[in-house]
Amino acid sequence: MTKLHDFLEAYLRTKRARGFKLKDDEGKLRNFVAFMEGREATVVTGKLAIEWAGSSAGPATWAIRLSAVRTFARYLADLEPRTEIPPTGVFPQHHRPQPHTYTAAEIEALLSEIKRWRSRNGFGQWTFHCCIGLLAVTGMRLGEAIRLTRSDVDLDAGVISVEESKFGKSRIVPIHHTTAAVLQDYCERRDASPPRRLGERFFVGERGKGLYKQRIELVFITSMRRAGLRGAVGTRRPRIHDLRHTYAVNTLLRWYEAGDDVDRMLPVLSTYLGHTHTRDTYWYLSACPEFMRHAADRLESRWGETS
């Protein structure tokens, strides 16, 4: 083990004590330290950091890899004055793919197709239907939904507790009474079987075990293709994560159409979605052409008032 390895362990402990999970960054930084050790380098330099960042994976990840080292290097600079902070702007930033905004008819067709999914004892399709349906009506992340425990879901109060989600954030997600009714029906179907009744998770498989993300995504992709909403094998859109995008876009559109102050309301949506920064929610404003029309209408209206 090298001193740089020890510094990394201390860095990870410090960040986690502040609430960061670092699931992705830890792997990157351990790989970087191994690269440094292979070069017998004991001090981080911009040249070595750039060489490592661009040495593997695709161009879309290079800026992300270098950013992880840059944050680590800032920590190291207080311990090793010779540390160089890798520069910014070396690699082009990877732009987020344009998401798909589902129509109500598309979501209905998707959920109808999922109901036709064949399972061993006729229960599996209800889990898939309710889990993916919950994503559509709440904007929750898939990982958040499959990690829900029974105690996280209070159908009488109409709230879901999302604990320790992305970036260590927790939040309360209110649900509509119609959603609560569907989930209550699901609970009765789920608990009709003793193995499933003993399961800790809210959404469970045939034998009461928790769900795997890959399984849900397979059901989603297959059902999308059967419903004619997704192309042949090899195409990647629309995605399941676009249900979250759709929820955010539709919420913002309702506010615009109701004449609400969207800038004032945006932090509310940011908290509801579990975003760490409001700027992550602002991104939705640039991702939907419909918002540009509303913005233009408001600007024209204001000009009319002052002319």
DSSP string computed for 71-138: HHHHHHHTT-TTPPPPPSSSSPPPPPPPPP---HHHHHHHHHHHHT---SSS-HHHHHHHHHHHHHHH
Select which of 30, 166, 189, 239 is catalytic. Answer: 166
| 116 token code pair | 């036709």
**From 244, 245, 247, 272, the catalytic residue:** 244
Angle, helices 278-286/242-258, rounded to nearest 10 degrees:
80
Helices 124-138, 177-190: inter-axial angle, 10-degree rounding? 160
Which residue in the list 147, 196, 230, 275 is annotated as catalytic? Answer: 275
Q: How far apart are CA 300 and CA 279, in angstroms?
A: 26
Is 275 annotated in the active site? Answer: yes
Q: Are 189 and 180 in contact (CB under 8 A)?
A: no
141 is catalytic: yes
Q: Are strands 171-174 and 159-162 parallel, antiparallel or unpaired?
A: antiparallel
**Tokens 């029974």 found at:** 150
Which is the catalytic residue, given 28, 65, 141, 201?
Answer: 141
pLDDT at 300: 53
Instruction: Tell me the CATH number of domain 104-226, given options 1.10.10.10, 3.10.129.10, 1.10.443.10, 3.40.309.10.
Output: 1.10.443.10
Catalytic residue, from 11, 247, 272, 284: name it: 284
pLDDT at 192: 94
pLDDT at 209: 93
pLDDT at 252: 85
Residues of the chain with pLDDT under 70: 1, 94-97, 165-168, 232-236, 284-307
pLDDT of residue 266: 82
Is residue 245 part of the annotated active site? The answer reads: no
The whole-angstrom separation of Cα 256 and Cα 129 is 31
Q: Exactly one of 215, 241, 282, 294 is catalytic; which is it? A: 241
- The pLDDT tens digits of the residues spanning 252-301 come to 888 888 888 877 888 888 888 888 777 777 776 666 666 656 555 554 55
pLDDT of residue 307: 43
In sequence order, what DSSP letters do the residues of 279-294 get, joined into one string? Answer: HHHHHHHHS-HHHHHH
Judge whether 21 counts as a catalytic residue.
no
Query: What pTM does this model have?
Result: 0.69
The candidate with the shortest Cα–Cα distance to 269, out of 290, 257, 293, 285, is: 285
Which single residue is written with the structure tokens 């905004």? 101
